[in-house]
A and B are shown apart, each in its own frame.
Chain A
Amino acid sequence: MVNLALAWAERYQSGHPDISISVTGGGSGTGIASLVNGTVDVANASRAMTADEMKQAEANGITPVEFTVARDAIAVVVNPQNPVRRLTLQQISDIYSGKINNWSEVGGDPRPIVRLSRETNSGTHVYFLQMVIRLGDSKNTTLFSTDTLLLPSSEGIINEVRQNPNAIGYDGLGYIPPDLMGSLIAVGKDASGPYVIPSIATVNDNSYPVARDLYMYTAGEPVGAIKEYMAWILSAEAQTIVANLGFVPVKP
């Protein structure tokens, strides 16, 4: 969600020249670790803090306060040459865990499947593991197949999907560029469907099955400039930016 944090900070600073906000990327784990270690005022995260992280923060004398600031859908995307356009959650899970290794097994051409994923420090990676590969079952211990390519950036995934007809990738809906919007996978909860293509509308009406909340954490109840900034984040102006970047605004 670094795109979003950057866009917010930029817009806010242009209206408030006396405030300076610096945004650093690196994944939710990085942001939360920085908050826990006391090096930042606000952490943006695409996953909720774990109980462990909360405990570590408390041990450092920091009480994180959670704000839900936007919603996000994880889109699964393939190369435009690939004829496959719909998969069930179970099929996506089987592809990523290594049970399905050829596109012909899910109705495509006889090509090997190349699995692309974000690095393990990405909140998107953890969310995808829990909600898709393990189908939301906390007792399930299925892992990513070892030959899943772990790419350090969204650009890496988009670029490989764009040029490699064997590839399947996932990323936040906000990161999918216009030229790949046509090859998004419609996801079905089970084989009987319905298969739903991710969009702002389908995320908001909860019909798209792989969507989540995006959070900001402050170190303690926000005061002063940070309080004003957090209030602005939930304003109509900031939420328009959310929609412009392909994320889904939180309902008022």
Chain B
Amino acid sequence: MNKSPNWRETIITAVIRTCGYSAVVFVILIFFFLLREGVPALAEVKLGDLLTTRWYPIENHFGILPLLTGSLVVTLGAMLIAIPFGIGTAVFLAEIAPRWLREILKPLVELLGGLPSVVLGFLGILLLSPFLRVFLNLPTGLTALAGALLLGGIAVPTTVSIAEDALDSVPQSYREGALALGATKWQTIWRVTLPAARSGVLTALMLGIGRTIGETMAVMMVTGNAPVMADKLTSILSPVRTMTATIAAEMGEVANGSTHYHVLFFIGLVLFLISLVVNILASTVIFRSRKRAERVLS
């Protein structure tokens, strides 16, 4: 009678532990697989050739710089859109909107997050890119800007949903304390509520940005995929080719084990390292801000 719950507990603990470890194991396995398939690229193509500006793999031009800059331009553009819109919407929902409005708006925003990116890509091709071409008088609307706008749109729902939860979990007493000290509503939000929810809000931004770096389909449909170096401010208004779109467009065609195949995996490795660095940076920031908060409280 006494034995059986313990026995059950052991199994449950083991299962949960396996789940926890497996996440780490999978990431490590994926990393080693990427290393195994991607590192030979360095032996087959000189590093100097990889760092050139011409990407045309079927003729052995393997310069990945245009792809790298293309991804950066689109991601930065998306962040510039997603951060203010995401935080603004979250603040509105959590702090300003009346309860009934929030009950309607939040599920709607989350529904937006569930839209498949292919569908957004179609909207991008049929509505957004023609609009951008006419509105900004560009040669073509299939540009980094179109990609950034779509990706921003994709990142906003994730950001809003998580950031709103974080703001909502800030104890009511913080706001009451701030208001009692004579702070205005805006001062309360900006100086008290947002800083208190900082780690949650940062997590929200990281997850949103994570979606934009990895997003492929919508980007492939609207950025024009021209491997042009994005090295000027105006590059946002010209077509770009991102790393994800390159892998998606070309992986199906390559022969297993060819140089092109290894270079595509090398690009995958670069993407993996970028998101790793971004994640590590974000968690250090969160960790540091938490320590500071603890110091203030003690």
Residue ranges of A at the interface with B (Cβ–Cβ < 8 Å): 26-27, 29-30, 33, 36-37, 53, 56, 111-114, 119-121, 126, 141, 143-144, 146-152, 156, 159-160, 163-164, 166-167
Contact = CB atoms under 8 A, between A and B. Distances in A.
A141 B182 CA distance: 73
A143 B125 contact: no
A164 B133 contact: yes
Contacts of B253: 26-27, 29-30, 33, 120-121
Contact of B54 (A112, A119, A146, A159): A146
B256 A37 contact: yes
Contacts, number: 90
B125 A121 contact: no
Interface of B: 53-59, 61, 66, 125-126, 129-130, 133, 139-142, 220-221, 224-229, 238-239, 241, 249-250, 252-256
A160 B132 CA distance: 13
Q: Tell which of B125, B220, B221, B253 has the most Cβ of chain A within 10 Å.
A: B253
B125 A149 contact: no
Nearest to B224: A149
A150 B225 CA distance: 5
A160 B143 CA distance: 12
Nearest to B63: A146
Contacts of A121: 249-250, 252-253
A146 B250 contact: no
A114 B221 CA distance: 16
Give the top 7 A-B pairs by smallest Cβ distance, nearest first: A121-B253, A29-B253, A149-B224, A112-B139, A150-B225, A114-B140, A30-B252
Contacts of A33: 252-255
A156 B221 contact: yes
Contacts of A147: 226, 228, 238-239
A151 B140 contact: no
Nearest to B126: A159
6 contacts: A33-B252, A33-B255, A114-B139, A120-B56, A150-B225, A150-B227
B226 A150 contact: yes
A166 B239 CA distance: 14
Nearest to B238: A147
Contacts of B55: 146
Contacts of A146: 53-55, 66, 226-229
Contacts of A36: 255
Given A27-B253, A150-B226, A150-B241, A159 B125 contact: yes
Give the residue among A36, A126, A160, A167 with the most B Cβ atoms within 10 A: A160
Contacts of A112: 139
B142 A149 contact: yes
Contact of A27 (B224, B252, B255): B252
A86 B48 CA distance: 43
B58 to A, nearest CB: 5
A55 to B, nearest CB: 11
A81 B99 CA distance: 53
A163 to B, nearest CB: 5
A151 B224 contact: yes
A211 to B, nearest CB: 22
A144 B53 CA distance: 14
Nearest to B239: A149
Given A33-B253, A120-B250, A160-B129, 15 more contacts: A26-B253, A53-B255, A119-B249, A120-B56, A121-B250, A121-B253, A141-B59, A143-B56, A146-B53, A146-B229, A147-B228, A149-B226, A156-B221, A164-B133, A164-B140
Contacts of B238: 147
Nearest to A151: B225
Contacts of B129: 160
Nearest to B141: A164
A151 B222 CA distance: 9
Nearest to A53: B255
Contact of B252 (A26, A56, A159, A164): A26
Nearest to B227: A146
A33 B252 CA distance: 9
Contacts of A56: 255
